[in-house]
Amino acid sequence: MTLDELKTYIRDIRDFPKRGIVFKDITPLLAAGPALQEVVDRIADRYRGRVDMVLGIESRGFIIGAAVAYRLGLGLALVRKPGKLPSERYAARYELEYGSDTLEIHRDAFGDHSRVLIVDDLLATGGTASAAIELVRRLDGEVVACAFIIELAFLKGRARLAAPDVFALLSYASE
């Protein structure tokens, strides 16, 4: 399946979750077996042999991250919203348009010097992924790349990401 074909499975929802936002809905892609397989395989193929661990960001990053990890025969680490992880954890705060938010990781999510692939569904301003990068560093992991299905390139989020490789399958130059 080509990337142009894949793009037809992303649905724009205007004014969700609030006015002025165009929400990129990936549920049509998740519902279509060949499209889901294409996304997972393209990400997995790119990083095969180059990473030791996949890290999924709550919650849509869990879906793609788990499938990529399974495909590569690797484990999955979770970066979650506050109050969800039961064991010892680290937290990283990041700024939003209005206010700030926090993400957490278990301190034993992976071993020192693990080569980590961070996965999420969408890169917007980069705040979420940059918090995930900070958490990987706190655990002495090496961020190999951040991989996304979608990049909203006009928000220039990739400039905020201190990762050697920022990869997105589908890029949008404007809303």
- The contact set with ligand AMP (CB under 6 A) reads 21-24, 57, 60, 120-129, 157
Q: Tell me, what DSSP letter sits at residue 146?
A: E
117 neighbors 71 (Cβ within 8 angstroms): no
Say whether 60 is catalytic: yes
Which residues face 80 on adjacent strands?
A: 104
Q: Distance (Å, rounded) from C-alpha 83 to C-alpha 62? A: 17
- HSE-up of residue 2 (Cα within 13 Å, Cβ side): 2
Q: Least distance to ligand AMP from the beta carbon of 113, Å?
A: 27
Query: Of the listed 60, 71, 115, 138, which one is catalytic?
Result: 60
35 neighbors 1 (Cβ within 8 angstroms): yes
Q: Least distance to ligand AMP from the beta carbon of 131, Å?
A: 8
C-beta closer to ligand AMP: residue 85 or 124: 124
Q: Least distance to ligand AMP from the beta carbon of 150, Å?
A: 8
Say whether 38 is catalytic: no
Q: Among 34, 19, 12, 17, which residue's Cα sits nearest to residue 150?
A: 12
Q: Annotated catalytic sites, by residue? A: 60, 97
